[in-house]
């Protein structure tokens, strides 16, 4: 029997609407604390070109750390595998904003998806330019990926994080002491914070993620990255995309995913689908509570998993 994806989405959206435990919205970025936790959205872009949505799929939210996937893609385009001299590829087992490992590991962050790693990636993407140049490049890149020029930065969120981002400033300065951040910390952070403050809806985020389900191809034609690079980014999303809960996410959901403290998650089923879910309430590890639950249910109902034989995937 063929999979009725619309019915699955409708069921999941209804289940999520009835959930009482929705987690806590992030408060350390004051602007994010104002978001209504009652919201939930889901969008699925399929490899055969369909788009299916449920709930608040067209409401914009702060993509936050989901932007680390796009930033990594850009940085690899600039410096290729040399990036791996400055950033590792191992799960950290620590919180997203942890500083502790840097002291013992010579200022080399464990992976590009924790804050320290993403700050090094932002340093690479800055490439001697003003932050506004790097920010403009990032914005153009996500607009091209999603095919949507209306995607923009939420300046209030950026200002809010700029005013309170002491920890990230500490991470940047600490890595500068190891010469693993090469530009002044304020410039790197200016770029990083604006990249995190990009606002997108689930629909836009799922569209932007299509290149990762298509082995690096842009659905509109041409190539964004090579198949090898797309597979590697997916591998990093699976192993490191949810901070110290990455193992739990892989266990429960079984597909690559990257979360952000805005409550969004981009998840990729290679060859099948790019999925975006959003619900602002977070669990203790800083990942969307309902977003994770919805993806777990979606994977169960569809058979989507990077570990299942292809013939068993709906």
Ligand X SMILES: NC(=O)CC[C@H](N)C(=O)O
Binding residues for substrate: 65, 115, 161, 168, 192, 243, 261
Q: Which is nearer to ligand X, 12 or 253 (CB)?
A: 253
Q: Which of 199, 117, 189, 188 is nearest to 157 (CA)?
A: 199
Shortest separation between residue 266's beta carbon and ligand X, angstroms: 12
Alpha carbon distance 11, 288 (integer Å): 19
* 306, 80 Cβ separation under 8 angstroms: no
Question: Which of the residues 96 through 125 are near ligand X (CB under 6 A)?
Answer: 96-97, 115
Interface mask toward ligand X for 206-245; x: CB under 6 A: ----------------------------------------
Examine residue 65 and tell whether it contacts ligand X (CB under 6 A): yes
Active-site choice (142, 188, 211, 243): 243
Structure tokens at 33: 């604390």
Shortest separation between residue 193's beta carbon and ligand X, angstroms: 6
Structure tokens at 274: 């790019």
Taken in order 298, 301, 307, 310, the sign of the CA dihedral is negative
Residue 192 among the catalytic residues:
yes
Shortest separation between residue 151's beta carbon and ligand X, angstroms: 17
Q: Which helix (H) or strand (E) holds 54?
A: strand 51-55
Q: Which of 278, 310, 286 is nearest to 98 (CA)?
A: 286
Residue 65 among the catalytic residues:
yes
Q: Which helix (H) or strand (E) holds 122?
A: helix 115-126
Q: Which of 119, 141, 127, 136 is nearest to 73 (CA)?
A: 141
Alpha carbon distance 32, 55 (integer Å): 20
Q: Quick one: which of 8, 52, 255, 261 contacts ligand X (CB under 6 A)? A: 261
- Which residues are part of a known binding site? 65, 115, 161, 168, 192, 243, 261
Task: Indicate the residue whose CB is closest to ligand X.
Answer: 65
Shortest separation between residue 309's beta carbon and ligand X, angstroms: 34
Structure tokens at 129: 């330019």
Question: Which of the residues 177 through 196 are near ligand X (CB under 6 A)?
Answer: 196
Shortest separation between residue 208's beta carbon and ligand X, angstroms: 16
Active-site choice (192, 201, 211, 258): 192
* 52, 6 Cβ separation under 8 angstroms: yes
Q: Quick one: which of 168, 191, 201, 288 contacts ligand X (CB under 6 A)? A: 168
The CA–CA distances, whole Å, from 123 to 55, 173, 183, 214, 237 equal: 37, 12, 7, 28, 21
Q: Which is nearer to ligand X, 94 or 97 (CB)?
A: 97
Residue 211 among the catalytic residues:
no
For the annotated catalytic residues, the residue numbers are 65, 68, 192, 243, 261
Interface contacts to ligand X, rule CB under 6 A: 64-65, 96-97, 115, 161, 168, 196, 260-261, 286
């Amino acid at each position: 029997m063929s999979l009725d994806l619309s019915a699955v989405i409708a069921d999941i959206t209804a289940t999520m609407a009835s959930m009482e435990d929705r987690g806590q919205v992030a408060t350390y970025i004051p602007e994010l604390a104002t978001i209504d936790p009652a919201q939930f959205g889901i969008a699925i872009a399929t490899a055969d070109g369909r788009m299916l949505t449920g709930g608040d799929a067209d409401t914009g939210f702060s993509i936050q750390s989901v932007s680390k996937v796009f930033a990594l893609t850009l940085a690899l385009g600039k410096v290729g595998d040399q990036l791996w001299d400055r950033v590792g590829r191992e799960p950290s087992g620590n919180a997203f904003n942890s500083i502790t490992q840097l002291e013992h590991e010579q200022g080399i962050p464990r992976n590009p998806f924790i804050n320290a790693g993403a700050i090094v990636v932002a340093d690479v993407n800055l490439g001697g330019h003003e932050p506004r140049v790097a920010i403009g490049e990032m914005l153009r890149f996500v607009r091209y990926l999603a095919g949507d020029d209306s995607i923009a930065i939420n300046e209030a969120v950026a200002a809010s994080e700029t005013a309170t981002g002491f920890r990230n400033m500490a991470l940047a300065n600490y890595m500068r002491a190891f010469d693993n951040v090469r530009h002044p910390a304020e410039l790197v952070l200016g770029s990083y914070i604006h990249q995190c403050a990009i606002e997108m809806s689930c629909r836009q985020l799922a569209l932007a993620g299509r290149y990762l389900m298509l082995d690096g191809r842009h659905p509109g034609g041409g190539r964004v990255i090579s198949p090898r690079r797309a597979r590697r980014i997916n591998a990093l999303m699976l192993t490191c995309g949810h901070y110290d809960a990455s193992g739990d996410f892989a266990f429960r959901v079984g597909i690559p995913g990257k979360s952000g403290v805005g409550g969004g998650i981009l998840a990729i089923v290679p060859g099948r689908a790019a999925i975006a879910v959003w619900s602002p309430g977070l669990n203790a590890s800083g990942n969307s509570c309902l977003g994770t639950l919805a993806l777990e249910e979606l994977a169960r109902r569809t058979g989507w998993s990077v570990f299942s034989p292809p013939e068993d995937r709906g």
